[in-house]
A and B are shown apart, each in its own frame.
Chain A
Amino acid sequence: MSTETTDILIIGAGAYGLSAAWWIGERDTGARVMVLDAGDFAANGTGSCGAGVRMQWGLELSIGLMTESIAFFEDAEKRLDFPGGIEFKQEGYMMLARDADMLGDFQANVERQNALGVPSRILSPEEALKMVPELNPDLLVGAAFCPKDGTVSPFLWLDALLRAIRRAGAEVRFGTTVTRLEQKGGTIVAQTTKGPVEAAKVLVCTDWAAPQLLAPLGIDLPIEAMPNEAMVTEPWQPVFGPCLVRIEHGLFINQLPRGSIVAVVTRELPKDESSSNHADWLPLGAGLFVETLPAFAHLNIVRNWCHPVSITPDMQPILGEMAVPGLFLAVSAYKGFMTSPAVGRLMADVVLDGRSNHPALAAFNLKRFETGDLIPEPLVI
């Protein structure tokens, strides 16, 4: 098969891959961009996520990425010329504190967040119940709340990016699997199921699946896949605004603008790349849902799905250029959807210029796992 060429090859058409492609186009350098994806539209992590976006993190770096990303989501309809918008429902994240100890931790987080410009605050149980009257009052002694957080449709976000980058001239192909990356002189050749593609620069955005592409090049990545499971109810009239979090259960509940309620429960499971549902999940997920919102016990659950998310030792991303010149990596550590506007921008800079002054790039490098300079994020759900 004859070899196709491009300037920048992006592997993975999820939120990171498409956002990086969009930002590369924005720089207007004339670089040709090709995006390849093994699946079809929204087939992997982004299409399977809970759709939440939040500023309420524990670390300055995470907060910085999300402040920038939420500002972009607010403006995405215009910036991506996507009439109808991406269903950004910005009505806050409410993290329920089940006891005084947890409320104390939340208080400390809120103070740190406020110092970094995040408008989070502590709610009394009465204030929380006023926002979400259906909430089980026995579950909380208070809550942390940030009104800038919310939910975006992952499908519309990807569609908006996809159309915008195609308008800008990028080539996006689904159903094309990259099986191997090879160094060839100063370029990289991607062997794919539809023939080889040669590029000066390659950006790998396959998240938990990145190790299998990079290992043959001698790059060891401390990334594992962990299955994560979710369910969605039938559409219901929009009744509550904020996303609800019970951090001790890994529970996240979110009513989409369409009216369906999504519930995700993240739990410690053996690390594997399988997307098979677990036989014990529905009683767990539905049980936590009903305990949290008893008035909605009658709502029909229409779908239950499972998909791996990426796990790193400190649950922070891995971003930057690898030891192979021209080879770049962006792995999300289970927050790729929400951080994609900011990470796409900084990855575009790194790919085009070889550097970025964004502090996240310096911090979230691969070397930290050798030097032991881990950056643990305390507020992982």
Chain B
Amino acid sequence: MNKTGKIGRRLGGRTGEPFTFIFDDSTIEAWPGESVAAALLAAGQVVLRIAEDGGARGVVCGIGLCWECRCVIDGRPNVRACMTEARAGMRVRRQQGLE
């Protein structure tokens, strides 16, 4: 499969087959080569974490420097969504404070 046109928030240029992973209770579609953060943003999911002060947080720097997008990926907390490649069947969860 080779998509070149824009699909929603995706700019096009996809090769390979889309797959899904789990984010809390939702199923998120992703394409090969996308980070977890990019796939979540493409799906309109921007709240990745609830900070200790109760405030919602999401992606900020997009390049692994600020650590704001840390969430729980396959059971491990403090994993940066922007630096983690999306994989089929992966389980991603919003991090609640310190986990």
Interface residues in chain A, defined as those with a beta carbon under 8 Å from any beta carbon in chain B: 234-238, 259, 298, 300
Inside 8 A of B98's CB, which chain A residues have their CB?
Answer: 235-238, 259
Total number of A-B contacts with CB less than 8 angstroms? 12
User: Do residues A298 and B99 form an inter-chain contact, with CB atoms below 8 A?
Assistant: no
- Which residues from chain A contact B99 at a C-beta distance below 8 Å? 237
Write the nearest CB–CB distance from B75 to chain A, whole angstroms: 11
B32 at the interface (CB under 8 A from A): no
Beyond A236-B98, A298-B76, A300-B78, 9 additional contacts (C-beta under 8 Å) are A234-B78, A235-B98, A236-B77, A236-B78, A237-B77, A237-B98, A237-B99, A238-B98, A259-B98
List B61-99 residues whose CB lies under 8 Å from chain A: 76-78, 98-99
Distance in Å from the Cβ of A232 to the closest Cβ of chain B? 14
- Smallest distance from the beta carbon of B80 to chain A beta carbons, Å? 10
B residues within 8 A CB of A236?
Answer: 77-78, 98
User: Which residues in B have their C-beta under 8 angstroms from that of A298?
Assistant: 76
Give the nearest-CB partner of A236 in chain B.
Answer: B98
Nearest first, the 7 closest Cβ-Cβ pairs linking A and B are: A237-B98, A259-B98, A237-B99, A235-B98, A234-B78, A236-B98, A298-B76
B residues within 8 A CB of A234? 78
Could you pull out 12 A-B pairs where Cβ atoms are within 8 angstroms? Answer: A234-B78, A235-B98, A236-B77, A236-B78, A236-B98, A237-B77, A237-B98, A237-B99, A238-B98, A259-B98, A298-B76, A300-B78
- B77 contacts which chain A residues (CB < 8 A)? 236-237
A residues within 8 A CB of B76?
298
Instruction: Give the docked Cα–Cα distance between A215 and B77 (Å).
Output: 54
**Bound: A236/B79 CA distance, A:** 12
Smallest beta-carbon distance B57→chain A, Å: 15
State how many angstroms separate the Cβ of A298 from the closest Cβ of chain B.
7
Chain A residue numbers with a CB within 8 Å of B78 are 234, 236, 300
From 6 to 47 in chain B, residues with beta carbon under 8 angstroms from any chain A beta carbon are: none
A267 to B77, CA, bound (A): 33
The docked-state distance in angstroms from the alpha carbon of A300 to that of B98 is 14
Distance in angstroms between the alpha carbons of A40 and B99 in the assembled complex = 34
CA A300 to CA B80, docked complex, whole Å: 12
Q: What residues on B are CB-neighbors of A235 within 8 Å?
A: 98
